[in-house]
Structure 1
């Protein structure tokens, strides 16, 4: 038995000193000191010894156990220190290495234009008002003097939400003009930016969802000259003092007289290109004098008050300001495109 104990001591101490990981050390503890370990197996033989040898072998067995446990504690400390050193070496930071560039987000080009337009109109004394995107047909069409048989009210042009065509995704932010006059009365000077929805085909200048800015001015003595002066001032503030505009007669149910306003194509300078469809001009907004029926429908006396209204597409304004040739780029969220602005 003495030889067995000495062999256990020798082999255990050698194996412990050779370990490189904590898992190996734990495996050795189980092998030599566990319930089914080698030292335990030897101690189970104590009953076969004589009464004189039992105390001697018992003392020797305790010494072997103490030697093995001490060796394990010492090796565990060494392995822990080495693991710490390895971890520190792995996590060493070289402060002389240039830092990584942090990409910081920035405002979308369309909302940059929107903020600029808001500031222009606020400086001109306009208020900003917001309204629901899910709108009643009464506000989107009827109160804007749009008859029941108007093409814009067809299911092929508008996103209706019920079979009775009474609720829809608004096709313009003009309903907010009606709500504003009903709520606050006149005189009034306001703009209403927001998302609108129409069943347009997707191409370089159209999208079924886009952003519009509608404006309204109602007061005593408002004329077409006020309309043209205001819109020219806004457009030249956005695109520069040399921007050329063109007012063309048009028809809108809610204004009379009505007009469309174009700016000279930023891409070709008026020569004609795919962006302007060869015309040299790009339509940016529709406008006109508020129809007397619209005023009277909101409880405003058209003999005492007059006003003008306008609506402009935000995406087209952004296209003009940033020289963007295709409206779809604004919605595609391509970082290669957006990072330019």
Structure 2
């Protein structure tokens, strides 16, 4: 899939997110078969859009799909009403969302770093590829749902190494409780404090200054929801990692929940974060429709769980179509204990790229994520890792220099040094053109 930038006379293929002066006449960008207005925020690349609609979480023999199904099975079994699952599952939602969905509906401040162009893939200033599945939370609440799982691919600009990839997969969930369900044995208790009127929620200014609860909620409601949330998530982790898994809760901050926590498990002699969760901010519920409920929410990454469960060493393997990888997960019971065994270990090649920055940039203002995207676009999936190796300011000329170490490795065959050198030369040439640097 290509992104095509349309001018009045011709099409230009976008090679990287940094626009040269030649592209200033660009007015539209086409993503996933739809045309959008382009502007100064547009930084989406052809390499990134090539991952849209791959839906690894729905591919039967992919390890991400096995973990997804285990989580869905847990919630189906744990929450039933009249023999039917209480939770509904949405696993094919479009990854193209508005900034309102991704940020505003979730109370993310305008100056929050997660909104930065260096963090997100923007189609334009008001449309982007979702950075989290939580972006669909409010639309599903507005449709009248109260217990649901959202599963899909999310997109974030990030560093390049064996555990980071610009596309990964998340499971997010929401569970609402009304008074009659939450306090079924204590009808005298209430979700809301006496000074909060659920019929006029926008007349109340909700505060999160109390670390134990939101000002609109009673402590009893918050603690009961906290207990349910933690018990449900501990149960899920035990289903995945075994009854004897060690775990701990860590206080956290998220703009859309309060109070908030992260759940960590003790895995291979280290504490590993597996999810974030909390009591949903009441403003989100009130803006989306429900005014008489309290809710919890959580989100987790499928890649992190799959890599831990199946001992998969490199996140790029999730995208492999090689039979040697996929056959290890083919036709397996979702609860089977599987340990990935490398079919072959191919050697890596490492080349350094050093360059002088133009006078308009410094070692502190140059965005590494811009460079990472360029490297991905040119090198594709043979790029295993990119590290900032050195920063240097010339003592006399005061010119600023950066050196990046690029590790090349193919997952399915041995790369020749000649192949690597050609890709490296192409990356150097594209870097000069994109950032006006001088190769050292």
Match of 1:235 among 223, 237, 240: 237
Residue in 1 aligned with 2:279? 289
Q: Distance in 2 between matches of 1:196 and 1:250?
A: 21
Match of 2:177 among 216, 219, 237: 219
Q: Which runs of 5+ in 1 are unaligned?
A: 1-104, 271-279
Residue 334 of structure 1 deviates from its aligned partner by 4.2
| Correspondence 1:309 to 2:269 | no
| Correspondence 1:119 to 2:79 | no
Residue 322 of structure 1 deviates from its aligned partner by 1.0
Residue in 2 aligned with 1:45? none
**Greater displacement, 135-144 / 214-223:** 214-223
Q: Distance in 2 between matches of 1:262 and 1:331?
A: 26
Indicate if the aligned counterparts of 2:64 and 2:306 stay in contact, CA closer than 8 A: yes
2:94 match: secondary structure:
coil
Q: Distance in 1 between matches of 2:122 and 2:135?
A: 16
Match of 1:173 among 119, 123, 133: 133
Seen in structure 2, the aligned counterparts of structure 1 residues 147 and 173 have a Cα distance that, compared at 3 Å, is same
Residue 340 of structure 1 deviates from its aligned partner by 3.1
Higher helix share: 1
Q: Distance in 2 between matches of 1:116 and 1:122?
A: 10
Q: Distance in 2 between matches of 1:281 and 1:321?
A: 15
Seen in structure 2, the aligned counterparts of structure 1 residues 169 and 106 have a Cα distance that, compared at 3 Å, is closer
1:212 match: secondary structure:
strand
Residue 245 of structure 1 deviates from its aligned partner by 1.7
Residue in 1 aligned with 2:387? none
> How many residues in Structure 1 have an aligned counterpart in Structure 2?
219
| Correspondence 1:183 to 2:143 | yes
Q: Distance in 2 between matches of 1:249 and 1:160?
A: 31
Residue 189 of structure 1 deviates from its aligned partner by 1.1
1:175 match: secondary structure:
helix
Deviations 1:126-149 (A, max 9, x none): 210242210011011101111111
Residue 328 of structure 1 deviates from its aligned partner by 2.6
Seen in structure 2, the aligned counterparts of structure 1 residues 217 and 208 have a Cα distance that, compared at 3 Å, is same
Residue 161 of structure 1 deviates from its aligned partner by 0.3
**Greater displacement, 116-125 / 210-219:** 116-125
Q: Distance in 2 between matches of 1:335 and 1:129?
A: 29
Indicate if the aligned counterparts of 2:258 and 2:278 stay in contact, CA closer than 8 A: yes
TM-score by length of 2: 0.48
Residue 236 of structure 1 deviates from its aligned partner by 0.7
Deviations 1:33-69 (A, max 9, x none): xxxxxxxxxxxxxxxxxxxxxxxxxxxxxxxxxxxxx
Q: Distance in 1 between matches of 2:246 and 2:75?
A: 20
Seen in structure 2, the aligned counterparts of structure 1 residues 201 and 335 have a Cα distance that, compared at 3 Å, is farther
1:316 match: secondary structure:
helix
Q: Distance in 2 between matches of 1:244 and 1:324?
A: 21
Q: Distance in 2 between matches of 1:243 and 1:202?
A: 30
2:229 match: secondary structure:
helix
Residue in 2 aligned with 1:193? 151
Seen in structure 2, the aligned counterparts of structure 1 residues 319 and 140 have a Cα distance that, compared at 3 Å, is same
| Correspondence 1:340 to 2:337 | no
Residue in 2 aligned with 1:299? 289
Root mean square deviation of aligned Cα: 1.8
Residue in 2 aligned with 1:47? none
Q: Distance in 1 between matches of 2:61 and 2:172?
A: 22
Residue 219 of structure 1 deviates from its aligned partner by 1.0
Residue 331 of structure 1 deviates from its aligned partner by 2.5
Indicate if the aligned counterparts of 1:216 and 1:308 stay in contact, CA closer than 8 A: yes
Residue in 1 aligned with 2:412? none
Indicate if the aligned counterparts of 2:153 and 2:170 stay in contact, CA closer than 8 A: yes
Higher strand share: 2
1:339 match: secondary structure:
helix
Q: Distance in 2 between matches of 1:292 and 1:123?
A: 28
Residue 108 of structure 1 deviates from its aligned partner by 1.5
- Which of 1 and 2 has greater Rg? 1
Seen in structure 2, the aligned counterparts of structure 1 residues 334 and 264 have a Cα distance that, compared at 3 Å, is farther
TM-score by length of 1: 0.61
Residue 151 of structure 1 deviates from its aligned partner by 0.5
Q: Distance in 2 between matches of 1:300 and 1:113?
A: 31
